[in-house]
Chain A
Amino acid sequence: MGKRSRARPPALEHGAVPWLLAGALATAAPHAGHLPPWLSLLAAGALLWRSWLWQRRRRLPPRWALGLLAIGSVAGIAWQFHSVFGRDAGVAMLVLLMALKPLEMHARRDALVIVMLGFFLLLTHYFYSQSIATGVWLLATMTLLTGTLIRLHGGTQPVATIAREAARLLLQALPFLLILYLLFPRVSGPLWGLPQDAHGALSGLSTQMSPGSISNLIQSGAVAFRSRFVDELPEKTELYWRGPVFDAYDGTTWRVSAQQSPRPAPVIEARGVTYTYTTILEAHNQRWLLALDLPTRLPPDASLAPTLEAVASVPVRVRSRFTFASSPDYRANRGEVPATLAEALRLPARINPRSRALAQQWQSLPPERIVEAALAMFREDDFHYTLQPPLLGRDAVDQFLFETRRGFCEHYASAFVFLMRAAGVPARVVAGYQGGEVNPVDGYLIVRQSDAHAWAEVWLAGVGWVRIDPTAAVAPSRIEQGIVAALPASEPLPAIVRLDADWLRDLRNRWEAANNGWNIWVLGYNPQRQRELLSRLGLQDPDWQSMTTSLAVLCSLLLLSVTLWTLRERRHPDPAQLAWGKYCGQLARRGICRAEWEGPLDFADRVAQARPALAALTSEAAGHYAELRYGRGGEGHLRLLRDCVRRLSRERRNEV
């Protein structure tokens, strides 16, 4: 031990430092987005400082200064996060280490620490983002780190050579990557605990609707879900994706009523065509699944709410796949329970007197005619469809129907349902999405937040719940062609929705198809998909034991074939090489390996230093081998060399 500590560790080459600094920067930089700014600045400053020291060939800062800096920063992290453990604080600590370690990088050992730390830090990026961009960045950084290792061990080489070599090494790892990816037993849900508010910022429909809530949602071009139909697509006017159903109104806001009494399961009579489709739903932290009106077949862990929307048993917190069958032509709940019908007639007292008066004129008509009358009013009077309606006061429906007459789908749905209830027709507001756009690249129908919509539903005796969309009466193009066609260019719609140039639209479609593929094949590869894929590959009902077994078997087979392939060239070594190989192999099992490039006598010298007990025998064997291979030694030497091999193994047995 004493001897080893006196020997100086291999020095770090000056030319390798930029590689390490680049690696440190590449692994730490993407964290700048969620680290406290002071820490990002500190890390950037430390790396800049190190680059300056490198460029000027200055000495590195003294240990006490680094120690102070490290203690101060750890205290800062502890103060900021109230802990040094946990996801954020842990990542902050790692970034700090990555920034400070280069400042005490003297020997190659320190450089290796940085590379290993870099590989570790790479993983932490997946805590924050799992997008394609992150994947590409991490792949590039992994190549950079591998290149740094090559540079550290291989000396000065052109960057292109190193990059090629690193890429080649990573490509060689690809088969193992695929095997591990496919077969490593999956766990559902994230491996680490996420903070409580992790899902707070997700956008989507909410459990209530007040004026402006949907027109705000429409400002977002984010994807709500993607659907692929097994056969053909339904008509655009049939694409009503049902979300929450609002049946309680307080004068301004529609809410999902909190009915206590259990209601019977809904009864749906489907007629005509049935469409089967698979939806990939983005996380929205609510239970509704946005099935097409009305679902007739549901995925196993979902059910149909009494208000006819498909709901999951738990809120959707990760992107998930669901397969539905829906029929646009249906009779739903013809025998609705009285409690629900009563709820669908309830109105707050003493508001909107003018609307009530109008509705009372219709009360004598049959319900179908009442609906007709209201729609005719929207269609024929001077109503406008706009994202920027004037603000409404206390008697919102009155103001809207008789004064402003400018509104968005929520205004029309709300006013229509108010009129129906006032006229004695059970009615409620349904929120969801309407329409969607087919991406020609992968055939998925993309529904965005900007497709959010609200419509009405009335209950007619003998027919059940019937969908009525008052917006269609005002702006038929909204339903037939989509939101972009229905709104003039001056209305504030997200740019991604309103793309005029064909090539931009094409680019967007390709990018979204790539994202969708990534979601399905990479992020969506969950235990269920794994089971599906494996049973398709012949592994029936795989549990984690059989997965682990096949993992081990496949990896071993792969390694074996690689080994055989590399050994192919050396299948016929001469007897001297064979015997010497055996001798070295026995020594390797005792912990002394001959380096590939080490000549026999040099190796014998090293063995003599490491294991004086084996010095004489090894030197003898090396001498015979040298004579055989490099001298003019004959059979006699070969016999003696083989004898050395036997003596070594005998000695080994005696030791044991």
Chain B
Amino acid sequence: MPAKPSTTPTRSAIAGILAAANTVILGKQAQIRLALCCLLAKGHLLIEDLPGVGKTTLAHTLARLLGFHFARVQFTSDMLPADILGVSVFDRESGNFRFLSGPVFSQVLLADEINRATPKTQSALLEAMEEGQVTTEGETRTLPRPFFVIATQNPSSQIGTFPLPESQLDRFLLRIELGYPDRAAERSLLESGGRREQLPSLAARLAPGAFAALQNEAAAVHASPALLDYLQALVETTREGERFVHGLSPRAALSLLAAARAWAFCGGRTMVLPEDVQAVLPAVARHRLRLPSGDQADAEDIAALIRSVPVT
């Protein structure tokens, strides 16, 4: 078979990470693979779902498996930007101000329930996501590399939330939903107890610095002119007609390509296929597209979009 998965070390590393994650979070293979793709494509991830379906566990598991320094912030409505970025305090012994870095100075920041914070605090974090650095008290400090934000949010219909504006949603490469586990997965969860206990025992699967190499490999996956034609046709379809209020932006098109490359890479392929684009399209597009009715596009809308663009 020509499109045979390459059995290189990278391939086995990816497979190992996915397999290990699947033992912690049961029955969510597609979502775990999307989450990993997001990090491979150097993007930030937004997980949106009801409380208690395993959002935090997923973020934590990925950070541990990839060997990243992990910090978690539980967002609340009385939180200030300094609670994330850090503050300077006066050190009486040295007689100087000393910067106490906030949780943002980590490799994977889990921003739990980001839509509970006020817009001011949200924007402080989102600026850090975009720039890769933070500026406090006149001093610019670079964030560690790689730097990922995995934000979770409750559906904004829940009370006491500040929904993220569209411009900030656009900074998340992918948005996924976890959904309820299926019957078998839930049964096994009930039998073995919660999964959080397993987290400390998870060992890192990658050597330091190896993830950057994986990211570079993923970015080098071949996208043929035919594939780019297809991708452009998809993006153009979102822009024409009155299916959606606005179409996908060029940044969204770039995100779509990057995510599709990472997805193909996770599948062990050296080229992007239309199937890869279709697989990541819901996660890339749903939080960026708004229906004329004001709702966000749902899975069926994206499926209809895919059905309306022929693969040639």
Contact = CB atoms under 8 A, between A and B. Distances in A.
Interface in B262-292: 270-275, 278, 291-292
Nearest to A162: B242
Mostly, the A contact residues are helix
A13 B300 contact: yes
A651 B234 CA distance: 37
Contact of A156 (B271, B293, B306): B293
Given A155-B304, A597-B306, A630-B224, A161 B271 contact: no
A265 B293 CA distance: 79
A573 B226 CA distance: 12
A626 interface: yes
Given A155-B301, A157-B243, A600-B273, A633 B311 contact: no
Contacts of B190: none
A530 to B, nearest CB: 42
Interface string B185-207: 00000000000000000000000
A476 B271 CA distance: 98
Interface string A578-601: 000000000000000001111111
A623 B2 contact: yes
A160 interface: yes
Contact of B271 (A154, A602, A626, A640): A626
A8 interface: no
A366 interface: no
Interface in A588-634: 595-602, 619-620, 623-624, 626-627, 629-633
A623 B269 CA distance: 11
Given A156-B291, A600-B273, A631-B222, A595 B307 contact: yes
Interface string A192-214: 00000000000000000000000
A481 to B, nearest CB: 60
B3 interface: yes
A160 B242 CA distance: 9
A577 B275 CA distance: 17
Nearest to A598: B311
Contacts of A602: 275, 278
Given A629-B224, A630-B224, A619 B274 contact: no
Contacts of B275: 599-602
Contact of B310 (A13, A154, A597): A597
B18 interface: no
A624 to B, nearest CB: 6
Contacts of B291: 156
B212 interface: no
A640 B3 CA distance: 13
A92 B224 CA distance: 60
A630 B300 contact: no
A597 B291 CA distance: 22
A640 B273 CA distance: 19
A529 interface: no
A631 B270 contact: yes
Given A623-B2, A627-B3, A599 B274 contact: yes
Interface size on B, as a range, is 20 to 34
Contacts of B271: 626-627, 630-632
A156 B242 contact: no
A190 interface: no
B1 interface: yes
Interface string B208-234: 000000000000001110110000000
A161 B292 CA distance: 12
Contacts of B19: none
B307 A630 contact: no
Given A599-B275, A632-B222, A161 B3 contact: no
B254 interface: no
A630 B242 contact: no
B3 A599 contact: no
Contacts of A573: 312
A577 B273 CA distance: 15
B53 interface: no
Mostly, the B contact residues are loop
B1 A597 contact: no
A67 B303 CA distance: 36
Interface size on A, as a range, is 20 to 34
B250 interface: no
A158 B224 contact: no
Interface in B1-38: 1-3
B82 interface: no
Contacts of A626: 2-3, 271, 273
A161 B293 contact: no
B308 interface: yes
A601 B3 contact: yes
Given A630-B273, A631-B271, A620 B222 contact: no
Nearest to B234: A597
A15 B298 CA distance: 12
Contacts of B308: 154, 597
A155 B293 CA distance: 12
A597 B273 contact: no
B241 interface: yes
A596 B311 contact: yes
A157 B301 CA distance: 9
Given A598-B311, A600-B273, A155 B300 contact: yes
A334 interface: no
Contacts of B1: 619-620, 623
Contacts of B270: 631
Contacts of B300: 13, 155
Contacts of A597: 278, 306-311
A275 B273 CA distance: 80
A627 B226 CA distance: 11
Contacts of B3: 601, 623, 626-627, 631
Interface string B223-261: 110110000000000000111000000000000000000
Contacts of A13: 300
Contacts of A627: 2-3, 271
B227 A158 contact: no
B265 to A, nearest CB: 14
A573 B312 CA distance: 9
B272 to A, nearest CB: 6
A599 B226 contact: no
Contacts of B274: 599-600, 630
Contacts of B306: 597
Given A597-B310, A600-B273, A631 B242 contact: no
Contacts of A630: 222-224, 226-227, 271-274
A596 B311 CA distance: 6
Contacts of B273: 599-601, 626, 630
A596 B312 CA distance: 8
A627 B4 CA distance: 11
A637 interface: yes
A633 B2 CA distance: 9
A601 B293 CA distance: 35
A19 B17 CA distance: 48
Interface string A413-425: 0000000000000
Nearest to A633: B2
A158 B312 contact: no
A599 B312 contact: no
A91 B199 CA distance: 68
Given A154-B308, A626-B3, A630-B273, 9 more contacts: A15-B293, A155-B304, A156-B293, A158-B292, A573-B312, A597-B308, A599-B275, A600-B274, A632-B271
10 contacts: A13-B300, A158-B242, A597-B307, A600-B311, A601-B3, A626-B3, A626-B273, A627-B3, A630-B223, A631-B222
Interface of A: 13, 15, 153-158, 160-161, 573, 577, 595-602, 619-620, 623-624, 626-627, 629-633, 637, 640
Leading 6 A-B pairs by shortest Cβ distance: A155-B304, A599-B274, A631-B271, A599-B275, A596-B310, A623-B3
Interface of B: 1-3, 222-224, 226-227, 241-243, 270-275, 278, 291-293, 300-301, 303-304, 306-312
